[in-house]
Structure 1
Amino acid sequence: MPSTDLHLDSDGTRDLTEEQISSDELVDGVLLNVYRDKVRTPDGESSVREWIDHPGASAIVPVFEDGSTILIRQFRYPARRTFLEVPAGKIDRPDEDPADVAARELEEETGWKADTFDHLASSYPCIGYSNEVIHFFLATGLTRGEQDLSDGEFVDVVQMPIEKAIRLAKNGELRDMKTVTALVYAAARLSED
């Protein structure tokens, strides 16, 4: 049975930090790397952690002056289904500003540009197996740009009232977690105004 006699942090909570002992790269992918690490647990024992190294991403909730927003419809191969999602994309370089990623992805995926990207929050969507962080933005001051999809990328742009998108997120009709999270963050920010 594991010991409950663990070191306490300065604030009086137990130190639950796990220390890496060794790491084996299982997959060196185009987007993701997968590792199997041996770790020392807080009780001094060892365990195995498999995890995905992800560069991070930005997700955007664009809001037009008339109160509408844009979502995209896109087929996602791992889930084998089409999802309605907020525009989003990965960070391409470690030093890339998440707001710059948001601006790039909004225009590439939807054909719209924004004057303002208001950072809503940053969250870890898959803490059990990935270090991915998604940075969420509210985009306003929208003007036409030029859609520029990557090879093999197919999306439909869907415009709807922001209230409808938030309702779809809250009642479980949207199944993509980053989209649900983005819309809940946006709803909270918009209710402050």
Structure 2
Amino acid sequence: MPGGGAAGAGDERHAYQVRSQTDRFTGPVFSVVSEEVTMPGGNLAVRDYLRHVGAVGVVALDDEERVVLVHQYRHPVRRRLWELPAGLIDVVGEDLPAAAARELAEEADLTAGRIDLLVDLHTSPGCSNELIRIFLARDLAPVPARQRHQRRDEEAELQVHRIGLDEAVRMVLAGEITNAAAVAGLLAAARGRDAGWRSVRPVTVPVPR
């Protein structure tokens, strides 16, 4: 109902206040915290969640409307997943478009002449505050061989493929692509293309807080 949103917003000023916080684990990518939170009505509830450094992803689209996907092993799910070139926001002072360009170069050996903003995504808000910003990269060119990043660990076996955007969307809808950032980025890219790219935004748009 029309008035419900306003009343709810007012109620939230008095609810969901953090009364205490306990650090359970701290690592280089994420930490685990427990917080006592005031619920509507006044009850206290404990909420555990991952506090994440954040990430960027890139839908890299070439002149033939093929998207660059990587096939990479992910240990928690014990298998390879189709993903976008993506990575953590873990370089001090690096802005997000630069981080996206770095990940594109490191994982796909590509540079982009143009980068736009596609979509922002909370990957799993029930248990994590992770936000990934997904960019659209076009005007692709190869990184010179001598300047290419040396991949290690799981990335050493990372496979890079170019797949038609429509085929990638089919793979999403068929359950063959399940990585959340890839699903969101590919569907946003297909919608953006069909709308003549009117839906893309400048990379300077602030990140949702």
Q: Summarize the alignment of residues 12-51 of structure 1 with structure 2, pairs less than 5 Å apart.
A: 12-13=7-8, 15-16=11-12, 17-51=15-49
State the identity as a percent. Answer: 30
The residue aligned with 1:11 is 6
Unmatched segments (≥5 aa) in structure 2: 197-209
Distance 2:28 2:128 in 1: 16
With over 3 angstroms needed to count, the CA separation of the structure-2 counterparts of 1:83 and 1:149, relative to structure 1, is farther
Give the structure with the larger helix fraction: 2
The residue aligned with 2:65 is 67
1:11 Cα offset (Å): 2.0
1:175 Cα offset (Å): 1.6
1:117 Cα offset (Å): 1.1
Q: Describe the superposition over 1:43-94 as per-residue Cα deviations: whole angstroms up to 9, x where unpaired.
A: 1110000011101111111010111111001000111111111111111147
Q: Describe the superposition over 1:141-188 as per-residue Cα deviations: whole angstroms up to 9, x where unpaired.
A: 100015414431231101121111121112221121111111011111
Distance 2:172 2:182 in 1: 8
Q: Summarize the alignment of residues 92-111 of structure 1 with structure 2, pairs less than 5 Å apart.
A: 92-93=90-91, 95-111=93-109
Superposed CA RMSD: 1.8
Distance 2:173 2:112 in 1: 26
DSSP-derived class of the 2:98 partner: helix
8 Å Cα contact 2:87-2:103 kept in structure 1: yes
Q: Could you tell me the TM-score, scaled by structure 1's length?
A: 0.90
With over 3 angstroms needed to count, the CA separation of the structure-2 counterparts of 1:147 and 1:110, relative to structure 1, is farther
**Equivalent AA in structure 1 for residue 182 of structure 2:** T
Distance 1:131 1:37 in 2: 13
Pick from 155, 159, 170: which aligns with 1:156? 159
DSSP-derived class of the 2:166 partner: helix
The residue aligned with 1:192 is 195
Q: Summarize the alignment of residues 166-185 of structure 1 with structure 2, pairs less than 5 Å apart.
A: 166-185=169-188
1:40 Cα offset (Å): 1.1
1:9 Cα offset (Å): 8.6
Unmatched segments (≥5 aa) in structure 1: 1-7
